Each structure stands twice: as structure tokens, then as C-alpha cells.
Structure 1
Amino acid sequence: MNTPISAPFILHIALATGLSLRILYRRLQVNTALAWIVLLIAMPFAGPVLYIMFGDPTLGQRRLKLGQRIRHFYQEAYALTREDGADLAGIPGPFDALAGSIMRDSGFPVLARNSYTILSDAGTIIDSMCRDIDRAQCDCCLEFYIIDPAGRVAEVLQAVLRAAARGVDCRILADDFGSKALFRSDWPERLRTGGVRLIRSLPVGLIKSLSKRSDLRNHRKLLICDRTVAYTGSFNLIDPRLFKPDSHVGEWIDLMMRIEGQTVDALAAVVNADFLLEEPGAQLDRVALRIDPRQAPLPSTHALMQVLPSGPEMPNSTIYEFIVAAIFNARRRVRIVTPYFIPDQAVLLALTSAAKRGVTVEIIVPARIDTRLGQFASQAAYEDLLTAGVAILRFGGGLLHAKAVLIDDGVALFGTVNMDMRSFYLNLELSLILYEPQINADLGALIDGYAARSTALVPQVWAARPASQRFLENLLRLAGPLL
């Protein structure tokens, strides 16, 4: 007796087949494509709905083209051309070639006339930000993934209100999802009443999710005052004593860099483009773009820096290419600090290959993070890394949220990027590529402090972990490309 094939089953097969073909023609990363295809087949109807909502990692062709045009406008206006950049001969090979590749992809050259201070304490970061906002005379721009107005963050917002009251043009761009606490408070009304322009970045909502992915987020952290001083790094605008106490991971620990010099202009180009792309009614087609005057001369000190914005608004995954190429080209040492470590096969191969050829590879992660899915997906890679000779240290003094990659003695990556596919492809991120031995040494000293408060995984002990834990790791490893 023949069993009739049900209409829902036929519809499921048609949807899964059609969307799988779309995935194949989009030429995604192999692991990401396979993860989506498995999801489409294994989850009737729910899989297609998830793919339609979260499967397209772009913000649209219009934003892509406008973003390139606006950034190029500011690169020209701020004299960020190749001729004004630093001589790449001072960068060791093959990183000079990588720097040139970043320049061609992003338009941002290596810039030399810079000074910097690395800040590692949340209270010091907030104090320093408030001082610079209080000194601002012309322009004050903040762009953050998370702004939570609790605790000492209110001091920063009060400083912005004081600046606006004395005639400074103050703008805040806050991610709509990450900054829910801000938008649900009375601060938006207070800021707007005080003359501050507050804009939601990548607004979320039920209707919007039908046409745009709601999980593509603006993960950048930036403060710029008067094109004179800038801050960027891993620090969200939070008070770590009060942020996410129910996650039981301890206080968040971050790094921020205060910069003066040419790199401030490059960061201003990124900030201005982001504001114009989000601001309602911005006259983009008329190139009604602002050129803020520089309020201070360039410093005489030299520190080689290159700005690299990344994410679905950029034409290429340059940050991912740089990280993989840099690890493959390491000769002595690779040090990585990241809260979220979910490597794909290319990153995993680069790290294990480096360790096998005698490069010292050290990865420092928090002992616990604020997402259990991410925790198990991260741990799925540990055994392969430990077997290859990679040292994995788990920091026990809180949620180590700092993000840095140090290659040998003279190249470092610093900013907002985590070592996972979300940071490489889905979030708007911002990195500084630093070609300076002294910066590398300064970051290395801070990493030494993190390492001293960490516990190294012992391969034999890790291999003896419970079978149930292994199962969860292997299961969630399949979802790694989607996390």
C-alpha cells in the first residue's frame, strides 16, 4: 500500500531545496553554508524562517555604496591619502604588503604622527573621557554598542550635556539592541532636551526584521572630541560594578586607547559616515557633509597606526584575511586575548600550524563568559589546539572583555573584534593595526598581568572531561559559524 506524500512535506522539501540553492550561489564560507543547509533540512519551516530573518549577512547594496562614498569623501577631506601616509618600508615584511592591501581595500593608509595612552581601568577610562568632553570646543561624537546609564556612566552623559550647553555640537550613536537600557530610561529625553542628537543605530523591530537582519549589530566603541583626541577599544559605556550582575561572571575588564594625531582623523571619517548613514533625513545625495576644523596641531611623536573598519557594510572581509595571514606569517610568538573565541577551520589551522612550526602561541580567554552556547562552542576547539602545543589560559578575575592579537614583537591588532565569525562577518567592528614595537610591548605587559591571573589548561586533564560535556561541545560546534 502506497503512503501518500503530505503537502507540508512537499512544501518543506521545496523550501529547503530552494533556499539551499540560494546559499550555494551566494558562495558563503563552506562551514557557514553547511550549517545553514543542515538547519534548513533538520528544522521544517522553522529553518527557512530563521534563514530569512538571519541568513543574509548584508545591510543592503545602498548602504554599502553610500558608506564607501562617504568614507572616501572624508578620507579626501582629511588628507588621508597614500601620499600623506607613512612609509611602509619601516614595517617588517610581509606585514608591509598586508598594510598595502588594507589601504587598497579600505582607503585608510598607515599614519605615523600619533601619540597614545592605553587605559586598562574602567574608572580611569571614564575619568579621562569626562575630562576630554569637558575640554571640547567644537564637536563631541560618541558611538557605542552598549550605553547603560547606570552608575558612573551618568557622569559621561552629564559631561555631554555640559558640552552641549556651551555650544558644542554633541552627537551620540547607540546600537538599538545593545543600548536597550539607555533607550528605556529617561536619558533620551534629557539628552535631546539638552541639545544632544541621539540616534539609534541599526533599529530593530518586528516589521524591520522582515526586510533586514536584526542580529547585524553596530559593535563599535568610539569617542572623538574636536578631531583632537579619540578613544577606541573594547570598553562599552558601562559601569562594570553594576553591569549584568545576574550573569555571575564577575566585573567586565576592558582596554581602551586614547589617541591624538592623524589617526583621530581616520576615526572621524568612520564616525561621520556611521552617523550620516543612520541619521534620519540626512542629505547624502547632495554631499551635505560636515568638515570639522582640527583644534590642535599634530603631535611630533611617531606611532604607526592603521584604521580598519569592518562588517557587512564593507565590500571585503579584510579583517578576517589580515588575522589569518598575520598568524600564518608569525615567526616567534602569537598572543591572543579575546572573550569570545569560536575559530573556524582557517583560523584553527593558522594557530595549530604556527604552534607546530615552533611559534609560541598563547590564547587567553575568560574562565566563564555570559553565554553558555558560546562557552561550549569555544571549548570545542580546545583539544585540537592543546594537541598542537597551543597554550590556553583561562582568566579567573572577571569577564576579560579586552581584545588584542600580538604578532611577534612589532605588529598588533587592537579594537572591538572578537575571534569569532560574528565579529569577522556580521557586526560593524573597528580595529587598529599597530606596527609599533613599543605599543606591542605595552600591550604585552598588560597581557602578562592577565596571564598571571589565569590558569593554564593541562592537555591530559582536559582530555578527561565528562562525555556529556564533549557531546555539548561537539553539538554546538556545528552552530559555531552562526553564533
Structure 2
Amino acid sequence: MHDSAVLAWILFAAQAALQLVFIVRALLRPHREPASRFAWVLVIALAPGVGVLAYVLFGEVNLGRRRIGRLRAALASLPPAEEIAGASAEPAIHDRFVPLFRVGTSVNHYVPVAGNRARLQPDSAAAIAAMVADIDAARHSVHVLFYIWLADASGLKVAEALKRAAARGVVCRAMADDLGSRALIRSAHWRDMAASGVRLAAALPIGNPLLRLFKSRIDMRNHRKIVVIDNAVTYCGSQNCADAAFAVKARFAPWVDVIARFEGPVARQMQHLFASSWMAETSEDLAPLFGEPLPPPAPGFIAQTIGSGAGVRYSAMPETFVALMSAARRELVITTPYYVPDEPIQAALCASARRGVATTIVFPKRNDSWIVAAASRSYYRELLEAGVQIHEYAGGLLHAKTLTLDGEITLIGSANIDRRSFELNAENNILLHDEAFTRDLRARQQVFLDAATPVTVAQVEAYSRWRQLWNNTIAMLGPVL
């Protein structure tokens, strides 16, 4: 046998062995749906080189052992999550809603707490103005964390407010995701904040991208949007620290967000969530923040923080969504920009409509992600045939992540109904029980509905064969990505 033939057989055997190793890894990875395992086995088997490389880059949800270790150490150093905001209000919750808050408690151990108040912000500019006013009024501490923080008018207003607060002796800590906010972190504005006394940290720093690939997935990001002031006020919603014009993706503008200002013990839970992210990236111990006495009980509704991410079980957000969808009796209204569900969520939405619940979901008509847009539309027909009402909002990129249930329950925050939010991103949401706030949010959802176009089964059936093929092919890749 010629040397070239021997070499060819050796290379073939090495390739086959490498494929086998990664096929076994794909089969052994925990918490993976059978469809995902099957998809990865096919990719690795049919496209050996590309498939193995794709698996190395995207096949495993890996934040890195050191990072996970630091996050767990931070949580261990902080006071127990179930104790930081006062006694659980579960006994005061209506029996039919108790399971919803128990699911929330199982995620981070934050218990539902009473005595909260909230105000929905009119729009993005008003939300930034409210944040700036609260920062200017802060007495002790200001903590902010954003996935995307731009050096535009809104972003710089918050930066200047932090600098003013630090100058008068308020302890200010600001964190931004190292990928989503890379331009600001590497700008003079970031250095100016540091020079003014604002304590800064980058969330999930990438460092050398080539080296990072071998340690963790670069696309696992801190997607949270958190503002906590004086341990008593917090903001929660979909809005990043940026103008609605959103300069980095201006052709999809305006970015249409929903965010609310909360007062009460739920702010301490959001503080705990911020502290865990901060301590995982820095050596500063924030446990003393929780030594401050709780304020006296005040009137207000029951609420609970839910923070998903690599430090908690992978199924936290999908379980939360399924629990809420399954609890609806009269009406379920959802807005989300990105819809790439797992099977239980798709089934829960269809089941909601089939049992007579008025089930409505609003998507943006134009999505900044062509991949998500195609995948989302592949699910339309099944939803519509089950009786789910689908609307596409045409007034900009609807970025709001909201859910209202029977006019009583609200979920608001940063999590999308897609696999990226479920498996890769750190998210923060607030679950609450209050008719007044839910009514206000439902009215905002109606504004979106009034500016949206209903989607019909006939329209979906009229999609060309090529469009159907494209949508379904992209959706089929969902378990792989």
C-alpha cells in the first residue's frame, strides 16, 4: 500500500474518532431535548469538520468553570435570598396563584413579598428622565447594570447623573455587558466615570476572543437591565440604557420598550441580583448592603424577582412562562420581540386558546434578527389554528417583554420567549399580583395591539413554498443553536 493511501486511512480514522468523541459529548450533555441531541448528531456526522467546529462554538452551554465558581462563591457570601426582603407573603396570595410564585421562588429563592408599589413609565425618554431624577436624589447608593449602554443622549444622561452622585459622596456602581456595551466601555465616557469616582465593572469580559472560545461561549451574555437606588427603588423592564432611536440599529427604530419604577422590598431582591453579578466580576463584598434594616411595612402589592442565568437551573424561564400560560382562565396577552419556543411553551400557548382563554401575542412586524423572524413565523400556523390571536406591530421594533394574565397577574422584565433567554442569557423579571398595575400594563399592550396588524391562517397559507421552506429550516436549527 502506498504511503499516501496509508496516510489517507490514518486521517480518515482520526476524523471518525473525533466525530465519535463529539457525538458522544452531544449525547451525554445534560438537560438537552432529544430533538437537540438528534440535530447535533446529524450535524457532526454529515458535516464532520464544520459540525465539530460548530459544536465547539455553540454546542454546549458553558460559562466557564472559573466564572461559575465565582458566581457561586458570591451567592454563598451574600445573605440567604429568602431572607433579604422580609417574610414571605404566600399566605396572603389567592390559592390559584400560589403555584406561580412557588415556581418563581424555586429559581432564586426570592419569596413573594408584600408592600410594593409601581408606576409604568410612559416611554423610553420618560424612563431615562425618571432614572436620572432618582439618581440625583440618591443618598447612599446607586447601582446600574445594562446589557446595552450607548453613548447617546440617554446613555450620557445616566452617565452624567452617576458622576454627579459620586461627586457628592453617593456610592455608585455601574456594570455593563462587555459585548453589548463594548463601545461605551472602551470610550472616554467610561474612563470619565471612573475618574469621577463611579465604580465600574464589565460583565462577562471577553478578553482575547480566540482564547475565550476554549473557556466559555462568547455569546452567553448578561442581558439584565437593573437600576437600584438606596436599596428602596428599582426599575425593571425591557429598556436598555439608550435612546429609542437606538443608533446601533437605527433602521429598525424606534425601539418600543416597557419599563416600570418599583418601590418596596422587591427592590432588595433586585439589589441581591445585582450584587451577585457584581461580586462575580470584582473582589468587592456587597453583603453589608443587606445589613440595613427593612423599612416598616407599607401598603402595596405582592411581587417577586425572578433572575435566570447560568447560576440557576436551565429551565427556569420556560417553566415560569408555562406556569403562567397554564394558569390563565379568561385572558392571556403577551408581547415579545423574539419567539423561538421550546415544545412545552408552544403547547401551553395552544392549550390556553383551546380551553377558551382569549390568548393574544404581539410580535414586531420588522425584526432586527432575520433568523428569529423566520423561526418565529414557522410557529404561526399551529398557533393560529389553535385559536391564538397573532398581531404584528408596525410602529417600530416592539422590544417590550410583557405578560398579563386575567387582569390580575403581570410578568415584566428582560426575558424573551426564545432559547437564547432560556439557556444562554442572564435575565431579570418581576412577577406581581396587582389589578391596578396589571390594568395599566394591559392598556399599554392595547396601544400596541391598536397599532398592529392581525395575522390570519389564510395569510400564512399564502406564504410561498420557498418562504415556508426557509422559515421551517431556520426553526429546525433552533435546537442546535
User: TM-score by structure 1 length?
Assistant: 0.92
Change (3 A) 1:440 1:73: farther
Structure 1 residue 100: Cα displacement: 2.4
Equivalent position of 2:275 in the other structure:
272
Are the aligned partners of 2:135 and 2:162 in contact in 1 as well (CA < 8 Å)?
yes
Change (3 A) 1:292 1:136: farther
Q: Return the match for 2:159 from 150, 157, 179.
A: 157
For residues 255-309 of structure 1, the C-alpha deviation after alignment (integer angstroms, 9 at most, x for no partner) is: 1111111001111111111100011xx16xxx77332665994562211101111
Are the aligned partners of 1:64 and 1:315 in contact in 2 as well (CA < 8 Å)?
no
Q: Return the match for 1:236 from 223, 240, 246.
A: 240
Deviates most, 415-424 or 63-72:
63-72
Q: SS state of the match for residue 201, structure 2?
A: strand
Q: Return the match for 1:461 from 459, 462, 471.
A: 459
For residues 86-118 of structure 1, the C-alpha deviation after alignment (integer angstroms, 9 at most, x for no partner) is: 13442341x302322432442100011111111
Q: Distance in 2 between matches of 1:212 and 1:154?
A: 32
Equivalent position of 2:403 in the other structure:
405
Equivalent position of 1:172 in the other structure:
174
Deviates most, 31-40 or 171-180:
31-40
Q: SS state of the match for residue 210, structure 1?
A: coil
Name the count of aligned residue pairs: 474
Change (3 A) 1:296 1:85: closer
Change (3 A) 1:78 1:465: closer
For residues 313-369 of structure 1, the C-alpha deviation after alignment (integer angstroms, 9 at most, x for no partner) is: 213522211211221232222211000011121111111122122121111000011
For residues 419-447 of structure 1, the C-alpha deviation after alignment (integer angstroms, 9 at most, x for no partner) is: 10110111001111112222221211110
Over the aligned positions, Cα root-mean-square deviation in angstroms equals 2.4
Same amino acid, percent of matched pairs: 31
Q: Distance in 2 between matches of 1:97 and 1:447?
A: 25
Q: SS state of the match for residue 84, structure 2?
A: coil
Equivalent position of 2:259 in the other structure:
256
Q: SS state of the match for residue 433, structure 1?
A: strand
Are the aligned partners of 1:422 and 1:482 in contact in 2 as well (CA < 8 Å)?
no
Change (3 A) 1:451 1:294: farther
In structure 1, list runs of 5 or more residues that go unmatched: none
The aligned amino acid for 1:153 is G
Equivalent position of 2:383 in the other structure:
385
1:209 maps onto 2:213 in alignment: yes
Q: Distance in 1 between matches of 2:380 and 2:12?
A: 40
Equivalent position of 2:146 in the other structure:
144
1:24 maps onto 2:51 in alignment: no
Equivalent position of 2:53 in the other structure:
49
The aligned amino acid for 2:252 is V
Structure 1 residue 65: Cα displacement: 5.7
The aligned amino acid for 1:341 is Y
Structure 1 residue 11: Cα displacement: 3.3
The aligned amino acid for 1:47 is G
The aligned amino acid for 1:219 is H
Q: Return the match for 1:90 from 77, 89, 93.
A: 93
Q: Return the match for 2:426 from 422, 425, 428.
A: 428
Are the aligned partners of 2:135 and 2:165 in contact in 1 as well (CA < 8 Å)?
yes
Change (3 A) 1:6 1:428: same
The aligned amino acid for 1:366 is P
Q: Distance in 2 between matches of 1:30 and 1:184?
A: 42
In structure 2, list runs of 5 or more residues that go unmatched: none
Q: SS state of the match for residue 39, structure 1?
A: helix
Equivalent position of 2:436 in the other structure:
438
Are the aligned partners of 1:393 and 1:455 in contact in 2 as well (CA < 8 Å)?
yes
1:134 maps onto 2:132 in alignment: no
For residues 215-273 of structure 1, the C-alpha deviation after alignment (integer angstroms, 9 at most, x for no partner) is: 10000001111112111110000112242345x22210111111111001111111111
Q: Distance in 2 between matches of 1:145 and 1:52?
A: 25
Q: Distance in 1 between matches of 2:44 and 2:402?
A: 36
Deviates most, 407-416 or 12-21:
12-21
Deviates most, 330-339 or 27-36:
27-36
Change (3 A) 1:134 1:192: same
Change (3 A) 1:444 1:15: same
Q: SS state of the match for residue 206, structure 1?
A: helix
For residues 184-236 of structure 1, the C-alpha deviation after alignment (integer angstroms, 9 at most, x for no partner) is: 32112111111112211111122122111101000000111111211111000
Equivalent position of 1:186 in the other structure:
188
Equivalent position of 1:36 in the other structure:
40
Are the aligned partners of 1:338 and 1:404 in contact in 2 as well (CA < 8 Å)?
yes
User: TM-score by structure 2 length?
Assistant: 0.92
Q: Return the match for 1:12 from 10, 15, 21.
A: 15
Structure 1 residue 386: Cα displacement: 1.1
